[in-house]
Structure 1
Amino acid sequence: MLTAAELTLPADSAAVSERATVLGVYQLPVGPEQGDKVPSERFEGQINRRTWRVEGSGTVLQILAPLREQLVEQGYEVRLDCAARDCGGFGFRFGIEVVPAPDMMVDISRYHFLSAVRGQEAVSVLVSRAGEAAFVQVISAGPRDAAAEVQKPFVQSETGPARPVDLSKVLEVRGHAVLTDLVFESGSTRLRDGEYDSLRELAVFLDANPQYRLLLVGHTDTVGSQAQNAGISERRAQSVKDRLIEAHTADEGRIDVAGAGYLAPIASNLIPEGREANRRVEAVLLAD
């Protein structure tokens, strides 16, 4: 039975998120972006996506290099090893699968990517800095009979409780943040009833920072026309605004809405997982 890589992360790292697909397809990037496309190799099986936040001042290469060495020692063959510009910069970043912010933060000018293969297993590592911290994303794909090993492919050198990413810090560092906990009614633009931490944090942020306004932007996948999706995405953004006002007494005059439709994907629309990631609402920070 194939087993997944077990790597040691820096001692000052903390787990942020974990997403698993029992049976799916992962397109492993194996070359720099060329002509708006990223060359890839298909791997089918169980897919695991994990992210960590790493405190400290280490560069992206200082974080990635030990992980690369461990992969090579375990028999993995490196397929791609590149830094931001050499990978293709903006085009590469938006041509590969990346866990949505705030779970994974990527600075277009400060990231390093590595992909490696061992038999029927694939692993990709993405490291980037954002403000005072660095973020690590690991996507592993392999046969389902290796599921027990793939579930937790990385071991921290010192364990500790996972620390959630502060939404206000994401807004201030990147200027925008995906509201990852929102759930809409099936086939509807109405936000499902319930408490959402992201909306509570947005309301607190607005109240504490009167110099800012927010633009809520809805996004969709590519199913349907752009005109239809623009309308759907704007109505979803409006639903989020309405909930902010009703449940958290946010200042209506400081919140605008817009619908981008499918014009700004953060993942491939060719796979179900990518389409799901693209259906989202983002908060964009504006000066008052």
Structure 2
Amino acid sequence: MLIFLKRVLTQALVVTSFTISTVGWAASDILVGIYPGLSEYSTLEESFFAYPVAVTPIDDDGVLTPKIIKGKLAHSVFVGSDQDNTLEVYQSFYDALSNGGFELVFTCSNSECGGDLVYELVGKSSIASAYAEVRQSGPVNTDFHYLVARQKQADNPAWLSYFIYKYRGNKLYLAQDVVTPKAIATKQVDIKIAFDEIDQSGRVILDGLYFATDSDALQPTSSPALKDISAYLKRHPKRQFFVVGHTDSQGSFSHNQSLSERRANAVVSALVTDYGVPSTMLAARGVGPLSPKASNLSEAGRSHNRRVELVPAN
């Protein structure tokens, strides 16, 4: 049986017909479940976070393509004993969510997840330390269950995910994440690309181009940079350029090479179709992780390596 707690009476998610007890925890706005016998170990709240959920297993190349939910994150870790059974905990949440107005988006257990799912989802994020107890001391191979659910019939449906894990007979840990989608408030930022670097170093990084995670879909916030790039190109109509995509080294080489080329093509397509740049001026190429600007051993370095450059062809 699950006992459900309500943190703030802003949004009521009735997940089960079991008794609901109300407590006055601040900052979260959703009904969440506590499994009897587990105690709260740690909590974390982010007012806005790009939270990844798995919707498929990790593939044979070790690549995970998660769905990114952007919004308010309420993260809690609960701990039990070495006598608690991960399957019983998992099945209790599975049943309660199935019967309580949630769509079960994805579940997996142990090796069917395709690898160390906790690490692939959050191990490289800014809140990785909040999951240290869940990951414990090694890859997730045994006694591991993962569940993602999405609220049905709501104007702004919340997402719930659960990592339920016991490593080599140690205590059971459960990480429960509740994400309430919301848009982040943004302000217009002027992007000034240093085009004079082309004649000095033979290339220029096209700052201000933004893509969806692991995708070649250009985001609307890329418009100021695309306008700036098109203006530069139109001032040099007799020149030709390569638009070169780069990635970090996470994942397989074939995946990264393909992604880098698709992103370069997306930039060329936008410049030609939306900004009237002659197609004869541009050729798209992708080099994946082959030309890094910084070390791929840190997220800061990887962020510098994910880029698009303009390189003169003549």
Aligning the two structures, in what range does the TM-score lie when normalised by the shorter sequence?
0.3 to 0.5
Q: Bigger relative contact order, structure 1 or 2, given CA contacts below 8 A and separation 6+? A: 1
Query: Larger C-alpha radius of gyration, 1 or 2?
Result: 2
Higher percent of residues as strand: 1
